[in-house]
């Protein structure tokens, strides 16, 4: 179907009160919306924004995707632009766990594989990095200085090493020893140390921080770390104070990396079943098209991976709010459903402590792209999770062990959210966007999917897949299959656009809850 034959409006559900513009529309146009009767536009409506298909009274619930997205703040005429000036969010309280409607297991998909790195413990990596990890912000610069020594020229004799990367952050001190914030940081750093995309690592601390390497090893209950290519060799740890300052620590760190490089470079890719993939699902800079094209197409890809026996992680708990009952109904048990609802309630309490609310969302950019309320954003966001059963809910950066669709409790802020999923074991990430993004997340490759073709073409150096073809009559199933094929190719070594740019170290951002002391 050519773009000129695509309706000006998309009707997503027969019960919807609004339809979505597939292109920029002008007042006075008479436009069609699937099975709904044509409407004459009263306003200019940008692509991705909503048009009222019928007259809507003040206080009436407005539906999109077949579900409420808010209440009309004023009377809205047929053909009017529906957005923040006349629509607002109103929570619909539900008591208890909704009746479970657990989907049946998908038909198994066999013979799907990728070329990965087998690690001790049986997991497979999709990349082979050597990581220089800072235990505290005080050692961040020194960690970067060590990693920067190993540019492409320095690694020319180690072609099977994807790079030496610095994993730095802004925490590690100013928190109660052994408290929740300390435990969260340990989970994140331990998840990177043991990540199957990391073939070796070096820890660098200052020497007096709360986040000591000793506490980190004790919390992991393994020494050396499970997941390294050679589990008989302990992880080297440097202290700036003990080494004698910046210069001496950098010199010692460089020596340690040189010693490890031959072992890391010895790893080779081999055939691995697709069931060994853990796919992180993320959306950022979403627009009104995200829930129509990129997100549901990624949901199809997630379903295909789960049919292979793999795992998909849905994250960003604040962006599940307003649609949590739909996910809870898909849980495999009442206990799993309750775990999800408990996290929503925690976030409501948490945000209230700071004088904020969960419905203080979408962002400025989301609204410019056509999203009006958090319910509308969440209904589109959870489409990334496809249609299979919800099998478990994980804490932030907790090691993901289940097969199937899981939720990880993360913030909606992209760097912090993806950092948690990667620390939990995600060895590939797919990031959907409508406004555009240049995100990367070393040590895990990040595939970026555009929700609309104009943005894809404008940011083609950063976008990997154009899901905007769905707006031109393309099939969601075909687009999902294309994304799944790209996941397998990237897992086998195909570089993503963010990897070509070298992006992904500065975006490492652990979420730390609690007071800074």
pLDDT of 92: 59
pLDDT digits (tens, 9 = 90+) for 117-150: 999 889 999 999 999 999 999 999 999 999 999 9
pLDDT digits (tens, 9 = 90+) for 381-410: 999 999 999 999 999 999 999 999 999 999
Alpha carbon 322 to its chain centroid, in Å, reads 19
pLDDT of 357: 83
pLDDT of 229: 42
Top-level class of domain 117-268: alpha beta
pLDDT of 320: 96
Mean pLDDT of 101-107: 96
Choices 3.80.10.10, 3.40.1190.10, 2.30.130.110, 3.40.50.620: CATH for 3-88: 2.30.130.110
Which helix (H) or strand (E) segment is 352 a member of? helix 334-352
pLDDT digits (tens, 9 = 90+) for 198-207: 999 999 999 9
Stretch among 227-241, 251-265, 348-362, 434-448 having the lowest mean pLDDT: 227-241
How does DSSP classify residue 234?
P
Q: What is the pTM for the complete model shown? A: 0.94
Q: pLDDT confidence of 94, banded at 50, 70, 90? A: low
pLDDT of 234: 80
pLDDT digits (tens, 9 = 90+) for 6-30: 789 999 999 999 999 999 999 999 9
What stretch(es) of the chain map to CATH 2.30.130.110? Answer: 3-88
Stretch among 15-29, 160-174, 356-370, 451-465 having the lowest mean pLDDT: 356-370
N-to-C CA span, the chain: 60
What stretch(es) of the chain map to CATH 3.40.50? Answer: 117-268
Cβ atoms of 484 and 312 closer than 8 Å: no
Q: How far apart are CA 241 and CA 205, in angstroms?
A: 9
What secondary structure, in 3-state letters, does 176-193 show? Answer: CCCCHHHHHHHHHHHHHH
pLDDT of 292: 95
Q: How far apart are CA 349 and CA 93, in angstroms?
A: 15
> In 348-484, at which residue ranges do the beta strands (DSSP E only) sit?
390-394, 404-408, 428-433, 446-450, 465-466
pLDDT digits (tens, 9 = 90+) for 477-500: 999 999 999 999 999 999 999 999
pLDDT digits (tens, 9 = 90+) for 44-87: 999 999 999 999 999 999 999 999 999 999 999 999 999 999 99
């Amino acid at each position: 179907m050519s773009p000129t034959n695509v309706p000006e409006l998309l009707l997503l559900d027969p019960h919807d009160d609004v339809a979505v513009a597939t292109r920029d529309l002008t007042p006075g146009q008479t436009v069609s919306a699937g099975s709904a009767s044509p409407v004459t536009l009263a306003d200019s409506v940008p692509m991705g924004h909503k048009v009222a298909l019928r007259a809507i009274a003040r206080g009436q619930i407005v539906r999109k995707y077949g579900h409420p997205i808010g209440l009309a703040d004023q009377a809205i005429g047929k053909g009017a632009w529906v957005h923040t000036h006349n629509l607002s969010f109103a929570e619909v309280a539900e008591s208890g766990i909704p009746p479970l409607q657990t989907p049946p297991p998908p038909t198994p998909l066999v013979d799907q594989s990728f070329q990965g790195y087998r690690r001790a413990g049986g997991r497979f990596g999709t990349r082979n990095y050597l990581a220089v990890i800072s235990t505290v912000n005080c050692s961040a610069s020194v960690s970067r200085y060590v990693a920067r020594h190993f540019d492409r020229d320095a690694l020319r004799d180690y072609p099977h090493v994807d790079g030496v990367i610095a994993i730095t952050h802004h925490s590690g001190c100013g928190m109660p020893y052994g408290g929740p914030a300390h435990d969260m940081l340990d989970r994140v750093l331990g998840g990177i140390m043991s990540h199957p995309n990391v073939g070796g690592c070096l820890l660098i601390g200052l020497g007096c921080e709360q986040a000591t390497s000793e506490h980190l090893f004790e919390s992991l209950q393994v020494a050396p770390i499970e997941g390294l290519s050679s589990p008989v060799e302990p992880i080297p740890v440097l202290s700036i104070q003990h080494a004698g300052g910046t210069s001496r620590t950098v010199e010692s760190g460089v020596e340690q990396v040189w010693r490890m490089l031959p072992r890391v470079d010895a790893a080779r890719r081999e055939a691995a079943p697709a069931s060994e993939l853990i796919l992180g699902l993320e959306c950022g800079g979403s627009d009104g098209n995200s829930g129509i094209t990129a997100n549901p197409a990624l949901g199809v890809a997630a379903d295909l991976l789960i049919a292979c026996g793999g795992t998909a992680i849905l994250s960003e708990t604040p962006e599940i709010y307003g649609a949590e009952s739909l996910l809870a109904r898909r849980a495999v048990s009442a206990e799993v459903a309750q775990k999800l609802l408990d996290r929503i309630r925690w976030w409501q309490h948490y945000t209230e402590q700071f004088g904020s609310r969960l419905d203080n969302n979408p962002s400025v950019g989301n609204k410019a792209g056509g999203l009006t309320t958090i319910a509308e954003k969440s209904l589109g966001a959870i489409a990334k999770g496809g249609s299979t059963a919800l099998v478990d809910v994980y804490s932030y950066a907790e090691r993901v062990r289940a097969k199937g669709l899981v939720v990880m409790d993360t913030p909606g802020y992209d760097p912090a959210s993806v950092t948690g999923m990667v620390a939990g074991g995600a060895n590939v990430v797919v990031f959907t966007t409508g406004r555009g993004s240049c995100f990367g997340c070393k040590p895990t490759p990040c595939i970026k999917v555009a929700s609309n073709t104009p943005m894809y073409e404008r940011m083609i150096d950063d976008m990997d897949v154009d899901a905007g073809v769905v707006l031109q009559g393309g099939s969601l199933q075909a687009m999902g299959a294309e994304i799944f094929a790209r996941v397998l190719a990237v897992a086998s070594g195909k570089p993503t656009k963010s990897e070509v740019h070298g992006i992904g170290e500065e975006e490492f951002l652990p979420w730390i809850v609690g007071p800074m002391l």
